[in-house]
Amino acid sequence: MEIMVRIVLGLVLVAHGLVHLLWFAPNDDPAWPFRVDRSWVVPEAIRRPVAVVLIAAVVAGFALLGLAVWGVPGLASTWPALAVGAALVSLATLVLFFDRQLLVGVAIDVLLIVIALWRPGWTDRLG
């Protein structure tokens, strides 16, 4: 059962990172929440480069976190740091390119940070 939980949790974490690639999916719908052309903080001239760097870091961070949860040697014990790092970069992306439809992503990132810092007993089997 523990193996199945690790597999599913790792897949969910990797999927959460990959969802950030939707910022690069072409979509002309003004209601589409994943838009790098809208930011309340980042100047227009550098929005795309900033988004590329942040999203690449998020995808890589969550991919590494998924591998850590799956027990890959060298990564398994670092899952709390990977979780906090990936979630913080994801939060930064969500805040800089904010749309209220993305609040679920904010909640996921905050939950990951809380779990990684709190380290409840069931997480001991992840490292």
Whether the CB-CB separation of 75 and 43 falls below 8 Å is answered with: no
d(CA 65, CA 13): 7
Q: At what angle do helices 2-19 and 47-69 cross, to 10 degrees?
A: 180
Q: Report the number of distinct structural domains present in the chain.
A: 1
Question: Which has more confidence, 1 or 50?
Answer: 50
pLDDT above 70 coverage of the chain, percent = 93
H runs (alpha helix) in the chain: 2-19, 47-69, 79-96, 103-118
In the predicted model, what is the mean pLDDT of the chain? 92
**Model's pTM, two decimal places?**
0.91
Q: Is the pLDDT at 17 greater than 80, yes or no?
A: yes
Instruction: Give me the pLDDT at residue 63, please.
Output: 98
Exposure string of 11-35, with b = 16+ CB inside 10 Å and e = fewer, is eebbebbebbeebeeeeeeeeebbb
Q: Which range marks the domain in which residue 76 is found?
A: 2-126
**Where residue 124 falls among pLDDT bands split at 50, 70, 90?**
low
